[in-house]
Amino acid sequence: MNDQLWWQRGVIYQVYPRSFQDSNHDGLGDLPGIESRLDYLARLGIEAIWLSPIFPSPMADFGYDVADYTAVNPIFGDMDNFDRLLAAAHERGLKLLLDLVPNHTSDQHLWFEESRASRDNPKRDWYIWRDSAQDGGPPNNWLSYFGGPAWTFDERTGQYYLHQFVTKQPELNYRHPEVLPAMLDVMRFWLDKGVDGFRVDVIWLMLKDDALRDEPPNPLWDGVNPHDSLLHIYTQDLPGVHEIIRSMRGMLDDYEGRMMVGEIYLPLAKLMAYYGRSSDECHQPYNFQLINTPWTATAVRTAVDEYEAVLPDGAWPNWVLGNHDQKRTASRVGFEQARVANMLLLTLRGTPTLYYGEEIGMTNVPIPPECVQDPPALLQPEIAELIGRDPVRTPMQWDGSANAGFTASGVTPWLPVAPDYATVNVARQDQDPFSMLRFVRQLLHLRRSEPALHSGSLQTIPLDNDGLFAYRRTYPEADSFLVMLNFGEKSLQVDLGSVAAKATITLTTRLDRSGAVDLASLRVAANEGLVLRLPLAQRQS
Ligand code: GLC
């Protein structure tokens, strides 16, 4: 065994609670539902579960508008259900991460109700209030991610408040000395219960320019999403945010074995700063390179090399392919290629986060206009295709029964079940020896048992074929592995004789071959990925 920590060794699996498993037939997933699927998750071979927000919320942004940070939303269950879920996860050796949303609350949070009550309320400056500009409009040109200005006028006290998402998500003011301590108390509440850490929502947005300067136009704007029309230099990545994160981390470190992942969409150089100068910020600043990189072997290889090259000393890498805000992998790269994508995600160096349903190849589900729920899609229907997230949040496909086993037959789920559920589901793939699920499960178990795959170093291998991406994972005194991925539709041959003469196929994406191969003339089928073992004995000889 090696001395890596659980959050370095293992895989994080993201559960979107509304869509995972409904236990009380209201069409919405819930905590007892998740508990009933823990055996599935344990058997899959993941290490930790991250739950998107489970807190009381009017659901203006599906839980990312929190009305009470230290309670459970009745639609998901109650605190007993949570305690049981946590204990049941721990019994199975699974860790549990919660989603902390510190940047903004719901407008129905008591803090905001007090803040908006009067200009002299003690909580007034817990949020960001400003007078109108001289023309009566918003105080500056800042924009909401979801469309329109980032400011809403509140008649009662005659001022605007700031919100970078929907109007019902007012932003907390971390320049007020009481706000951070209040958020640290929230963290303590859950850590005392034994949660293993947090995924922290929009952590890089937590501080805003105090002078509220206008943001400059983005000269590279493509004219599509209005939010991209400005350069967000006064609402994102302000230097002072690091101090806030250090305080959060300092508090977390009072507890043993906990961790913090930060949601951060920034270019690499800036992203690295979120590890902290002395590794005292996020254990994992989320690395979204794979989401933002064109799906070609060359582009992905470059992204991997660049990321590895800029990682600070001692910083542990992480990789993400999908989440509740991003397109489904199988829709983006194709159903067959999605296996290659999963092989990549699960064999790169660092901690992968796997979004629910990606292990069976769930795709973006077309949402009829009358069923659209997601605020950005409703607010900007003209670009709903681009920014709407309902298609990636549909019910988990458990089996071929009505409603895919997510909820009882006859119940209307909150979002439509995918049309392909009769063929793409857990039960069916469990029976099929060549399925995506069988492949992912085998890969997760292989990853767990092989030090090179969960903890080893990574070295990309130059190839003279730009349809392929290859890398080697190596760990002292252990077998090493070659990963070979074909990103295209054509079968290709490659010469890897310089690495070794022979290797053994340990796993393929298609689960259809094994045994020794000659590396000098290795054939890789279309859309195929291979994990090849280079035994320690062979390396030493
Ligand atoms: C994060 C969440 C997203 C949410 C937004 C506002 O980006 O991942 O789902 O809408 O924050 O909280």
Domains and CATH numbers, the chain: 6-103+177-443 (3.20.20.80), 110-162 (3.90.400.10), 456-534 (2.60.40.1180)
* pLDDT score at 535: 86
- Helix H or strand E encompassing 468: strand 468-474
For residues 305 and 390, give the distance between their C-alpha atoms in angstroms, rounded to a whole number: 33
- Minimal-distance CA residue to ligand 1 atom 5: 64
**Helix ranges restricted to H, 20-109:** 31-36, 38-44, 79-91
- Minimal-distance CA residue to ligand 1 atom 9: 325
Cβ neighbours of residue 462 under 8 Å, at least 6 residues apart? none
> Which of 143, 259, 252, 232 is CA-nearest to residue 187?
252
* Closest ligand 1 atom to 104 CA: 12
Q: What is the 3-state secondary structure (H, E, C) of 154-173?
A: ECCCCEEEECCCCCCCCEEC
Compute the distance from residue 324 Cα to the ligand 1 centre, in Å.
9
Write down the catalytic residue from 263, 358, 359, 390: 263
For residues 107 and 67, give the distance between their C-alpha atoms in angstroms, rounded to a whole number: 7
Compute the distance from residue 38 Cα to the ligand 1 centre, in Å.
25
Compute the distance from residue 263 Cα to the ligand 1 centre, in Å.
9
Compute the distance from residue 202 Cα to the ligand 1 centre, in Å.
7
For residues 314 and 526, give the distance between their C-alpha atoms in angstroms, rounded to a whole number: 37
For residues 295 and 93, give the distance between their C-alpha atoms in angstroms, rounded to a whole number: 35
Q: Beta strands 515-518 and 197-200: pairing type?
A: unpaired
**281 is a catalytic site residue:** no
**65 is a catalytic site residue:** no
For residues 224 and 55, give the distance between their C-alpha atoms in angstroms, rounded to a whole number: 34
For residues 411 and 83, give the distance between their C-alpha atoms in angstroms, rounded to a whole number: 28
DSSP state of 33: H
378 with 475: CB under 8 angstroms? no
CA quadruple 402, 408, 411, 416: dihedral sign? negative
**CA 360 → CA 44, 399, 420, distances in Å?**
11, 11, 11
- Minimal-distance CA residue to ligand 1 atom 4: 64
What would the pLDDT profile of 57-91 be if each residue is shown by its tens digit? 999 999 999 999 999 999 999 999 999 999 999 99
Compute the distance from residue 64 Cα to the ligand 1 centre, in Å.
6
- Minimal-distance CA residue to ligand 1 atom 12: 64
In a structure prediction context, what are the per-residue pLDDT tens digits for the chain, which is 541 residues long?
467 999 999 999 999 999 999 999 999 999 999 999 999 999 999 999 999 999 999 999 999 999 999 999 999 999 999 999 999 999 999 999 999 999 999 999 999 999 999 999 999 999 999 999 999 999 999 999 999 999 999 999 999 999 999 999 999 999 999 999 999 999 999 999 999 999 999 999 999 999 999 999 999 999 999 999 999 999 999 999 999 999 999 999 999 999 999 999 999 999 999 999 999 999 999 999 999 899 999 999 999 999 999 999 999 999 999 999 999 999 999 999 999 999 999 999 999 999 999 999 999 999 999 999 999 999 999 999 999 999 999 999 999 999 999 999 999 999 999 999 999 999 999 999 999 999 999 999 999 999 999 999 999 999 988 999 999 999 999 999 999 999 999 999 999 999 999 999 999 999 999 999 999 999 999 999 999 999 887 654 4
* pLDDT score at 536: 86
- Minimal-distance CA residue to ligand 1 atom 7: 202
* Closest ligand 1 atom to 103 CA: 12
User: Is 184 exposed, middle or buried (CB count within 10 Å of its CB: 0-12, 13-18, 19+)?
Assistant: middle
154 with 112: CB under 8 angstroms? no
107 with 57: CB under 8 angstroms? no
* pLDDT score at 2: 62
User: Is 277 exposed, middle or buried (CB count within 10 Å of its CB: 0-12, 13-18, 19+)?
Assistant: exposed
* Closest ligand 1 atom to 61 CA: 10
Write down the catalytic residue from 196, 201, 359, 390: 201
Compute the distance from residue 523 Cα to the ligand 1 centre, in Å.
43
DSSP state of 366: P
Q: What is the residue type of 18?
A: R
* pLDDT score at 539: 55
63 with 52: CB under 8 angstroms? yes
Q: State the virtual CA torsion across 159, 163, 168, 170 in degrees, nearest 10.
A: -70
Ligand 1 pocket at CB < 6 A: 61, 64, 101, 165, 201-202, 263, 324-325
Rounded to a whole number of angstroms, the distance between the first and last alpha carbons of the chain is 24
* Closest ligand 1 atom to 324 CA: 9
Compute the distance from residue 59 Cα to the ligand 1 centre, in Å.
12
User: Residue 179: phi, psi to the nearest 5?
Assistant: -75, -50
For residues 233 and 270, give the distance between their C-alpha atoms in angstroms, rounded to a whole number: 13
* pLDDT score at 541: 42
For residues 106 and 64, give the distance between their C-alpha atoms in angstroms, rounded to a whole number: 8
State the pTM of this model: 0.98
199, 201, 379: residue to mutate for ligand 1 pocket, most atoms within 8 A of CB: 201
CB atoms within 10 A of CB 343: 23
Compute the distance from residue 502 Cα to the ligand 1 centre, in Å.
48
For residues 34 and 15, give the distance between their C-alpha atoms in angstroms, rounded to a whole number: 8
* Cα angle 22, 165, 105; round to 5: 70
* pLDDT score at 103: 98
16, 50, 61: residue to mutate for ligand 1 pocket, most atoms within 8 A of CB: 61
* Closest ligand 1 atom to 389 CA: 9
65, 69, 145, 165: residue to mutate for ligand 1 pocket, most atoms within 8 A of CB: 165
Number of alpha carbons in the 13 Å side-chain half-sphere of residue 129: 20
